[in-house]
Amino acid sequence: MLCTGRLGGLAARASALLPGRARPGGLGAGLWAREVSTSWSPVGAAFNVKPQGFRLDLFGERQGLFGVPELSAPEGFRIAQENALRKSDLLVARACSTPPGPQTVLIFDELSDALCRVADLADFVKLAHPEPAFREAAEEACRSIGTVVEKLNTNVELYQSLQKLLADKKLVDSLDPETRRVAELFMFDFEISGIHLDKEKRKRAVDLNVKILDLSSRFLMGANFPNKIEKHLLPEHIHQNFVLAGEHVIVDGLHAEAPDDLVREAAYKIFLYPNAGQLRCLEELLSNRDLLAKLVGYSTYSHRALQGTIAKNPETVMEFLEKLSDKLSERTLKDFEMIRGMKMKLNPQNSELMPWDPPYYSGVIRAERYNIEPSLYCPFFSLGACMEGLSILFNELFGVSLYAEQTAKGEVWCDDVRKLAVVHESEGLLGYIYCDFLQRADKPHQDCHFTIRGGRLKEDGDYQLPVVVLMLNLPPSSRNSPTLLTPGMMENLFHEMGHAMHSMLGRTRYQHVTGTRCPTDFAEVPSILMEYFANDYRVVNQFARHYKTGQVFYAALDQIYHGKHPLRRSTTDILKETQEKFYGLPYVPNTAWQLRFSHLVGYGAKYYSYLMSRAVASMVWKECFLHDPFNRATGERYRREMLAHGGGREPMLMVQGK
């Protein structure tokens, strides 16, 4: 999943959960070569040892988060925010006074970068930092920057400075393709924000956008908030599977891979139990999105959200989902029959197939089907071994290696966070990946990629290195062994590393289209392609992947929620109806899965992107990597034709050139 660019407009382009280049006048690899540090250590060992804290720098000066000096304390967010806003004021004045030309686009991108570097970092910190003071300060920074962004997206004078460029055919024809596309993307952001409206309606659009930001933040927090139940209401023998707090059991997730059926059932019913406040928040979020879409000229929010994507409009999405559902229906029934048979075999007293069963029993089926011998093909992999395997794979495909780097005191938010340097054999240092992989209290139960800083060519000719965070929820190491991954965990790790490498391997001129900042239904292609590598025996000697039959249901539900308003019935009734049509397993009374559907925020009206990206990734895998998943020439071509461009090129052009 991507979590970045939620602000839209002059802040980063859409897409945690995505997005150098060999082209005339482009950025040659040699220009950006950086020396390899001798302080880097092997990646595998770094992830298989227990965190030792900051013992090497006990008395040193505390640095800020991600090395940003101001962020050594929560109050630093206010300073960083004020600095960004001062810089943005200067850049707006400069954009409005500069004659139209390529420099206009560079100024717009620098403006976008100044705001993103605070907003994107704060977007991560407000979710993941263990200290409430940091989370609250980051939340305030997000809201402040978000408000400014929405005002800039309706700033007529700023809009006119870009319009003068795009209205001059001679000037437009003189722009290189990437610069022209970035200019058009900025113009597109003005248009969907209501720049064409009168002053009063533009202010209304800004107010709605700010309200949507607030509601989105509230919904995300609520989607990850645990539920609790009195101990005596659960059988005592399953208490140990959950967190205990006095006389209560805390349930903070679905426990989908727990082997005990009762544990999974209890987690499902308790975690998904409806919350009235969360339900009101969702209804208000959907209603305000609909109001905004209609105000700026769209019939539904889905029509607005899908502008600029591969799908183009919700009609195409629903046609795609209906056809996919029809084609998968027979296979889905067979899958469920196999899962039902396995459940009957292992638990004949309770063999009815329920929604909490497929993830666990499909894993059991895979292990049995491929006759996995623990001594030869252990279904668990240490985190260090998986990271070393990823480094080897990236080295084979791209000439890239991953190295662990010691962090300074205050640079990371938890002592088990690891910092990786991504190093190319000839280009040198490409960027940094911070790996926040292990479970901890109050950490959201979602696997995400966050852009902290986008790559771009700076005015002084240097290249701004990208910085990202990968957030997973893996179990900590035990006294006797390092963190061990199930097949599902390993697949998620590969998926998120696909996002990270998309960010690392691009060398776009503009941060507005760097890495994963591209159309959402293309942004998931590199990450889903990595799942194919994760399930290829030549790469990890693992078994084949079970298709996620629920995804069509989730995507259809997302489209209906963002379709015509007012909704004809409650969001829970719509969930039940859609589940029966697209999924095939019964709705469980007194549950409200949609209230935990965090993708409704970052992927509102775009959840279908996983499925469309899977179709593209499948094609790329079969045509490029199926024969030899380690082929360097193919890897270089994949980088050159797809990864390098971020959002700076039309997705279909990249797919056709794969």
- Residue type at position 94: R
366 and 543 in contact (C-beta within 8 Å)?
yes
Count the neighbouring beta carbons within 10 Å of the beta carbon of residue 236.
8
Alpha-carbon dihedral of residues 550, 551, 556, 562, nearest 10 degrees? 120
Report the C-alpha gap between 202 and 397 in whole angstroms.
49
- Residue type at position 497: M
Report the C-alpha gap between 421 and 405 in whole angstroms.
6
- Residue type at position 583: Y
For residue 431, is it left (φ>0), alpha (ψ between -120 and 50) or beta? Answer: left
Q: Which residues pair with 429 in a beta bridge?
A: 423
451 and 518 in contact (C-beta within 8 Å)?
no
Residue among 180, 212, 166 at smallest CA distance from 193? 212
The tokens of 401 are what? 């290696």
Inter-helix orientation angle 156-166/177-192, to 10°: 140
- Residue type at position 402: L
Report the C-alpha gap between 409 and 55 in whole angstroms.
9
Q: What is the DSSP string of 498-548?
A: HHHHHHHH---S-GGGSTT-S-HHHHTHHHHHHHHHHT-HHHHS-PPPPP-
Q: Which residues pair with 533 in a beta bridge?
A: none
Look at strands 448-453 and 467-474 and give their pairing: antiparallel
- Residue type at position 17: L
Report the C-alpha gap between 547 and 611 in whole angstroms.
11
Task: Residue count of the chain, please give it.
Answer: 658
3-state secondary structure at position 453 = strand
For residue 194, is it left (φ>0), alpha (ψ between -120 and 50) or beta? Answer: left
359 and 253 in contact (C-beta within 8 Å)?
no
Query: Which run of H or E residues covers position 117?
Result: helix 102-128
Q: Which of 139, 427, 496, 524 is catalytic?
A: 496
Q: What is the DSSP string of 208-247?
A: HHHHHHHHHHHHHHHHH--EEEEGGGS-GGGGGGSEEETT
**Is 496 designated active site?**
yes
Q: What is the DSSP string of 238-306?
A: GGGGSEEETTEEEE-S--TT-S-HHHHHHHHHHHTS--HHHHHHHHHHHHHHHHHHHHTT-SSHHHHHT
Query: Could you list the active site residues?
Result: 496
